[in-house]
Amino acid sequence: MPPVTRREFMAAAAAAGACALITCPSAPAPAAEKERLNVLMIAVDDLRPELGCYGVPGIKTPNIDRLARNGVVFNRAYCQQAVCSPSRTSLLTGLRPDTTQVFDLETHFRLTIPGTVTLPEHFKNNGYHAQGLSKIYHGGLDDPQSWSVPHWAPALRQYANPETLADMEKRRQQLRAQGRRVNAQVLQSDPKTGTALKVRTGINVKGPAWEAANVPDNALIDGATAQRAVETLRQIKDKPFFLAVGFLKPHLPFVAPKKYFDMYPLETTRLAPNPQPPKDAPEIAFTNWAELRGYTDIPKQGPLSDAKARELRRAYYAAASYTDAQIGKVIDELERLGLRDRTVIVLWGDHGWQLGEHGLWCKHTNFDIAARAPLIVSSPQGAKGARTDALAEFVDVYPTICELAGLPVPANLEGRSLAPVVRDAKRSVNTAAFSQYPRGKVMGRSIRTDNYRYTEWAEPGKAPEAVELYDHRTDPDENVNIAAKPEHKGLVARISKMLRDGWKAAAVK
Ligand SMILES: [Ca+2]
C-alpha cells in the first residue's frame, strides 16, 4: 500500500464505510468524522509487574510509572501461557493456545491457523501503517504479512564484554566441530513468503546470567531499538500508524549498562519472601528452570545460594530500569511530535517471572507469579492514573486496541474488549482469567477468579492427576495448596466447573 496522509486515510475510510471485514456485516460503520487513533504497542520481554506503578517499593521505573499516570494499570492481567511464543501468539492473534495450537517455541501459527488475521495485520488491512521493531513475535517466527514494511531487529550481541563474546564463539565452534547444532534449523517454510513455519532450536550457547556493561544505552539491543523507534515515529507521524516496539530486557541474560546496576545496592537487594514450594503442591507444578541453568554462573542442579539469588534479583531490576529508560525515550518523542493525544499506548510484559519464589526461576509454570504480567493502557479517552482490579486476559488486548482506536472488532476473537475498564476503571468484563501450561502429555489448566487460583493437571480426556487451589484473600503468594482439604470439596467442584465452562461463560453479566 502506498503511503497515505491522515486526511486521505480518513476520506478513504469514510468512502469504504470502514467495515470491510466479513466478520462484522451488521456492525455500524464508525463515524467518518471521528478520527481514528494511532497505536503504540510496547512489548517488554519477561517483565513481571514489579514496577513502581504496581506499588512495589524500591523499583526504579519512572517512565512506565509516568505512562501509568496517564492511563489505567491492570493489577490482575494474565497471559494465556507463561512462555514467550505461545503468549505472544495468543495476544497477537486474539486466540487462545487451544486454538492457535502454539504451545512451544518452534511452531508458527501460520502452520496451524494459516488464515488468521493478526492484530497488526488488522490495522494494516484498515489502512494503517503497521510496523514492528525488535521482539514482537518470538525470535525466528516473525509474520511478514502482519507488517506494512519488513520487520526490523537490531544486529547487536546479547553481551558487551569482548571476553564473554569470544568465549561463547569458541564454545560454539567446539560444538560445531562435534557435529552439534547451535543454530535453529528451519524444518518447514511457507513456499510463497519464505516464513519459517516449523523450526528446531539448536543448542543455545550462553554466557553469564548477568553483566553490568561499561557501554552507553545504545550499544545494547534495547537502546538501539529505542533509537530506531524514535526515528520511525518521525517518519510515520503523518499517517495513521500501528507501531509495535519490542524490548528484550529484562529477559535473560540480565545485561544492562552499569549505571542501572548502580541504582540497586547489592547488599540491600531483597530475596524472595517465599523461597519454599507451596505446602502440599504437586510435583508437576514445578520446573527445574532449565532456561537459567544454561548460563555459565548457574549450577546445573539444586537451589541457588542466597548470594547468587541476590545478584540475579538485582540484575533483573537493573535490566528492567534500563528498558524503562528506553521506553521513556520513545514516549518522549511521541509527545514531542504532538501525537500523544491521538495515540493509544498499550504496554505489556509477555508473562510473569519467578525470581526465587517457590524456589523457582524463570516462567514455565501456572503459578500466579508466572501468569500475571503488566498491562497498562493509556488512551486519550480513557481514565488517567487509575489502577483496576478488573480481571484481564492477554487475549483481551486485541479487541481492546481495536475498540479504543476505532476499528471494528473481528468476530472470531476469543477475548473481550477491556475498553469499558479503560474508560472507567471501576468496571469489569471478566469473572475469571484462564492460563495453561503443558508438561508432556499433561496439560495444566488454570483459572484465576476474584478470590482463587485453581489448577488441574490432566491428560486429554482423563481425570486430573493433580489439582491446586490457592486462596488469594488469605494467601496471595500461593504458599499453601488447599485443594485436598475436605471443607473445600464443594468449592473445588464449583471452580472446576468454571474452568471447564471456559471463557465465554466467564463474562460479567
Ligand atoms: Ca518472554
Query: DSSP states of 24-92 as a string?
Result: -TTSPPPPTTSPPPEEEEEEETT--S-SGGGT-TT---HHHHHHHHTSEEEEEEE-SSSSHHHHHHHHH
Ligand 1 geometric centre to CA of 247 (Å): 10
Sign of CA dihedral 130, 133, 137, 139: positive
Fill in the amino acid letter for 316.
Answer: Y
Q: Looking at the domain assignment, is residue 253 inside a domain?
A: yes
Give me the pLDDT at residue 34, please: 59
Helix (H), strand (E) at residue 387: strand 386-393
pTM, rounded to two decimals = 0.93
Q: How far is CA 29 from the centre of its chain?
A: 31
Please give the DSSP secondary-structure letter assigned to residue 107. Answer: B
Angle at 244 between CA 242 and CA 249, to 5 degrees: 165
How far, in Å, CA of 207 to CA of 252, rounded? 10
Q: Cell for 43? A: 512489548
CA–centroid distance, residue 435 to ligand 1 (Å): 15
% of the chain at pLDDT higher than 70: 93
130 alpha carbon – ligand 1 mean position (Å): 22
Ligand 1 geometric centre to CA of 269 (Å): 23
Question: What residue ranges of the chain have pLDDT lower than 50?
Answer: 1-4, 7, 9-33
Does residue 458 lie within any of the structural domains? Answer: yes
d(CA 103, ligand 1 centre) in Å: 13
Q: For residue 138, report the distance from its CA to the centre of ligand 1, in Å.
A: 8
pLDDT attached to residue 270:
94
Phi, psi for residue 311 in degrees, rounded to 5: -55, -45
- Secondary structure class of 220 (helix, strand, coil): coil
Q: What is the pLDDT of residue 396?
A: 98
Rounded Cα distance, 410 and 399, in Å: 8
Query: Can you read off the three cell numbers belonging to residue 333?
Result: 518523542
Per DSSP, the three-state class of 450 is coil
Q: Is 247 helix (H, G, I), strand (E, B) or coil?
A: strand
293 lies in a domain? yes
Q: Which domain holds residue 322?
A: 6-21+32-506
**Domain containing residue 323: CATH number:** 3.40.720.10
Q: Give the pLDDT score at 313.
A: 98
Query: Do the Cβ atoms of 405 and 494 come closer than 8 Å?
Result: no
Q: What's the CA-to-centroid distance between 203 and ligand 1, angstroms?
A: 18
Distance, in Å, from the CA atom of 43 to the CA atom of 234, rounded to the nearest integer, reads 20
Between CA 85 and CA 109 the distance in angstroms is 10
On whether residue 27 sits in a domain, the answer given is no
**What pLDDT, in 10s, does the model give residues 133-172?**
999 999 889 999 999 999 999 999 999 999 999 999 999 9
| Residue position matching grid coordinates 504532538 | 338
Query: Looking at the annotation, which residues are catalytic?
Result: 84, 138
Contact (CB, 8 A) for 405 and 36: yes
In whole angstroms, what is the distance from residue 116 CA to residue 412 CA? 9
pLDDT score recorded for residue 140: 86
- Can you tell me the distance from the alpha carbon of 290 to that of 441, in angstroms, rounded to the nearest whole number? 19
Q: Residue 192's pLDDT is what? A: 86
Task: State the DSSP code for 176.
Answer: H
pLDDT at 194: 86
- Residue closest to 312 by CA, chosen among 261, 366, 352: 261
**Cα–Cα–Cα angle for 435, 397, 228, rounded to 5 degrees:** 115
* Number of domains the chain is built from: 1
CA 7 to chain centre: 34
In the DSSP assignment, the letter for residue 288 is: -
Any domain includes 400? yes
Is 1 domain-assigned?
Answer: no
Are 269 and 317 in contact by the 8 Å Cβ rule? The answer is yes
Residue 26 inside a domain? The answer is: no
**399 occurs within a structural domain:** yes
Going through 394-465 in order, the beta strands assigned E by DSSP cover: 432-439, 442-449, 452-458
